[in-house]
Amino acid sequence: DHLCSFVEDEEFFGKDSRLIYRHFATLYFIVICDSSESELGILDLIQVMVETLDKNFESVCELDLIFHCPKVHTIIDEIVMGGMVLETNCHEVLRATAEIAK
């Protein structure tokens, strides 16, 4: 909790790239992006992903991500597609994924 959520290492990630991560319970969510992205925006995006996964799986854990991989991909595809954030409302994402599952 007392560590920075941003890592910049030009040698490892390449020029103009950084790693942004967030730790939730036993899960780490990691995004690598360039400097044009807002760090706080990416942290908010990670928060939306975690909240949506948590509502879908009722307290998400590693096993949910492993055994329901297609469902996780569908949820993430509803939030982000082609590098663009499409939806940040958890309820809308869950509604859309439920409709896709029909």
Express each pLDDT in 48-97 by its tens digit: 999 999 999 988 999 999 999 999 999 999 999 988 899 999 999 999 99
Task: Give this prediction's pTM.
Answer: 0.84
- As a whole number of angstroms, the distance between CA 51 and CA 46 comes to 9
Residue 2: CB atoms within 10 A of its CB come to: 3
Q: What is the torsional sign of CA 65, 84, 97, 43?
A: positive
Rg of the chain over all Cα atoms, to the nearest angstrom = 14
Does residue 2 carry a pLDDT above 70?
no
- As a whole number of angstroms, the distance between CA 87 and CA 90 comes to 8
Does residue 4 carry a pLDDT above 80?
no
